[in-house]
Amino acid sequence: MFESKAAFEDVVSVLRAAGEPTRLRLLALLLAGEATVKDLTEVLAQSQPRVSRHLKLLTEAGLVERIPEGAWAYYRLAESSAGAGLCRSMLARLDAADAVLESDRRRLDSVKAAHAAEAQRYFARNASSWDRLRSLHVSEAAVEAAIRAIVGERPVYNLLDIGTGTGRMLTLLADRYSRAVGIDMSHDMLSVARANLAAAGIDHAHVRQADATALSLGNGYDLVLVHQVLHYLDDPARALREAARTLSPGGRLLVVDFAPHAHEFLRADHAHRRLGFGHDQMQGWVEAAGLDLVETRDLPPMSDDGLTVSLWLAQDRRMEMAGSLSKIA
């Protein structure tokens, strides 16, 4: 039996849309996260028009959502359509060890690994001048002032900087935290970060290699930063869930990234996977991660064709729950 009741028409619609081998494989792949037509075409080894046609049918049936982004489009499983819950229940009953599905997952992992390698090559080429490149997009001084302001004077005992890059955030907030860890996937970036921390005389922070989408760290961080990282990732929502998992009760998550824009050259020349994020999109992601969005700020660009930088501050709900329980007691 399915977990909840579904209307007859909804069941028929789901079965019609999913009842074809390629479309069922597509749904199973999207269960693991968002993907582009190009990614899915590589995984299935089918033509782009054929894959696009299947995705169109799934979208029309309300099982898949299409998210346009510049010249690209990402696809993901629908969350709120009439058949969304039924579709996910059906996918959950598939045998994960099935040879076809297992092969598809391996291919998708390979495609995503290639994306990550592309980003790493870019980081390696630009490690020594990364701060200068960032300053070309928007005034870094204004961004850093906004970060310090939104973090405020609240004590930070354990800070986690995800995608630390050159370690600039660890240096910027060195007077605000007792202990900090910065993580990054790039060895070149970590080398620069270590050199910068040493030059600044900061001995209460260290850096290590780790993947933002699969953190091997424990929890207990009362402030987690994700500064200009999400636009490099295939699955930003997953990274936010991982970040939220590391928070202590009542801990805060600060995300800094670009607002939606149309600068395709950043994707072509600078390994950006996403062209910015909107407030509604970010709110949905942080709430799905079990957090409440408590403050947003936008920093306008320096020129008409520049980039807006947005700051989103979210907080773990567990402190409020604990407070509510104590009042009841």
Q: What are the boundaries of each domain within the chain?
A: 8-94, 129-328
pLDDT category at 54 given cuts 50, 70, 90 is very high
- DSSP of 111-125, one letter per residue? HHHHHHHHHHHHHHH
Q: How many residues does the chain have?
A: 329
Identify the pLDDT of residue 32.
79
The mean per-residue pLDDT over the stretch 254-275 comes to 90
Identify the pLDDT of residue 221.
97
Query: In Å, how far from its chain's centre is CA 190?
Result: 21
The mean per-residue pLDDT over the stretch 70-74 comes to 77
Identify the pLDDT of residue 4.
55
- DSSP of 163-204, one letter per residue? T-TTTHHHHHTTTTEEEEEEEES-HHHHHHHHHHHHHTT--S
Among 6-20, 25-39, 147-161, 250-264, which stretch is predicted with the lowest mean pLDDT? 6-20
| Strand 221-227 relative to strand 309-316, pairing | unpaired
For residue 109, give the H/E element and its range. Answer: helix 99-126
Identify the pLDDT of residue 180.
96
Phi then psi for residue 29, to 5 deg, are: -65, -40
Identify the pLDDT of residue 243.
97
> Would the pLDDT of 327 be above 50?
no
Among 27-41, 65-79, 277-291, which stretch is predicted with the lowest mean pLDDT? 65-79
Taking domain 8-94, whether its CATH number is 1.10.10.10 is answered by yes
> Would the pLDDT of 178 be above 80?
yes
Question: Where do we find the tokens 């329980």?
Answer: 325
Identify the pLDDT of residue 129.
56
Which pLDDT tens digit goes with each residue over 207-226? 988 889 888 888 899 999 99
What percentage of the chain exceeds 90 in pLDDT? 47
pLDDT category at 2 given cuts 50, 70, 90 is very low
Cβ atoms of 297 and 282 within 8 Å: the answer is no
Cβ atoms of 220 and 180 within 8 Å: the answer is no
Among 8-12, 132-136, 150-154, 200-204, which stretch is predicted with the lowest mean pLDDT? 132-136
| Strand 309-316 relative to strand 247-258, pairing | antiparallel
pLDDT category at 199 given cuts 50, 70, 90 is confident
Token output for 107: 């291919």
What's the CA gap between 38 and 34, in Å, rounded? 12
Query: In Å, how far from its chain's centre is CA 202?
Result: 29
> Would the pLDDT of 72 be above 90?
no
Cβ atoms of 64 and 58 within 8 Å: the answer is yes
Which pLDDT tens digit goes with each residue over 101-140? 899 999 998 988 887 777 667 667 776 655 655 555 667 8
- CB within 8 Å of 102: residues ≥ 6 apart: 96
- Tell which CATH architecture fits domain 129-328: 3-Layer(aba) Sandwich (3.40)
Which pLDDT tens digit goes with each residue over 278-325? 999 999 999 999 999 999 999 988 777 788 999 999 999 986 554 443
- CB within 8 Å of 208: residues ≥ 6 apart: 181, 182, 183, 190
